[in-house]
Amino acid sequence: MIDLLEYLPILIFLGIAVVLSSLFVFLPMGVSRLTGTHQPTAEKVSEYECGFPAFEDSRSRFDVKFYLVAISFLLFDLEASFLFPWAVSLDSIGWTGWAGMMIFLGILAIGLAYEWKMGALDWD
Neighbour-count burial of 65, counting CB atoms closer than 10 A to its CB (0-12 exposed, 13-18 middle, 19+ buried): middle
Write down the pLDDT at residue 102.
Answer: 93
Write down the pLDDT at residue 106.
Answer: 93
Q: Where are the domains of the chain?
A: 64-124
CATH numeric code, 64-124? 1.20.58.1610
pTM, entire model: 0.49
Taking the chain (124 residues) in runs of 10, the rounded mean pLDDT of each run is 82 96 94 81 70 66 77 85 89 92 91 84 74
Q: Are 104 and 82 in contact (CB under 8 A)?
A: yes
Write down the pLDDT at residue 52.
Answer: 60
